[in-house]
Each structure stands twice: as structure tokens, then as C-alpha cells.
Amino acid sequence: MLAGVIPTVEEVASFNIAYALAFRGEVDRAFEWLEKAVGYNDTGLSQITNAPMFANIHSDPRWLPFLEKLGKSPQQLAAIKFEFKLPD
């Protein structure tokens, strides 16, 4: 079923395709689609650090470099300074 849908939604759902493939354990294909998502500027990439279906590929050696490329590695996110002031 997924194979039949991919050609019709490739540009608008590349992140979701990667998500489904990662969940299914198709690691290589998931990374291929993550790269396509970058190329298509898929807005889903903004959610990648909180997306539970990518848990299957967190241990892959490509995961952290991919997050770094997006500026979303744990170290990069931890370095963001948040300053806020509560109203009186």
C-alpha cells in the first residue's frame, strides 16, 4: 500500500514516508527519504527530535550527523539560550 501512495505524495509527505519506513525498520530507505525531505524543505523535519516513530533509527550511526545537519542535535539544542521574564 505504501509503495502505491509514495509516487502521489512524494513532495508533500517525504517526512511522513521516512517516518513510516523508520517505524517499519527499513532504516536505509528511511534515511533516503529523510534526505528527500531536506531537499523538499518538508516542514515535518521541525518535529524530528520529538517523533517517536524514529526511535528505531536513533542507534544508527547516521542519526546524529543527520540531526547536526538540521541544527537539531542534542548538543546544538542544549546550546540554545532561553531568556524570559515572567510578568510582574
Sorted by where each begins, the domain ranges of the chain are 2-78
Per-residue pLDDT at 4 exceeds 90: no
Between CA 9 and CA 62 the distance in angstroms is: 25
Q: Residue 6: pLDDT band by 50, 70, 90 thresholds?
A: confident
Per-residue pLDDT at 2 exceeds 90: no
Reported as a single tens digit per residue, the pLDDT across 23-82 is: 999 999 999 999 999 999 999 999 999 899 999 999 999 999 999 999 999 999 999 998
Query: pTM for this structure?
Result: 0.85
- Tell me the three cell numbers of residue 22: 523508520
14 contacts: CB under 8 Å, gap ≥ 6: 33, 36, 37, 39, 40, 42, 44
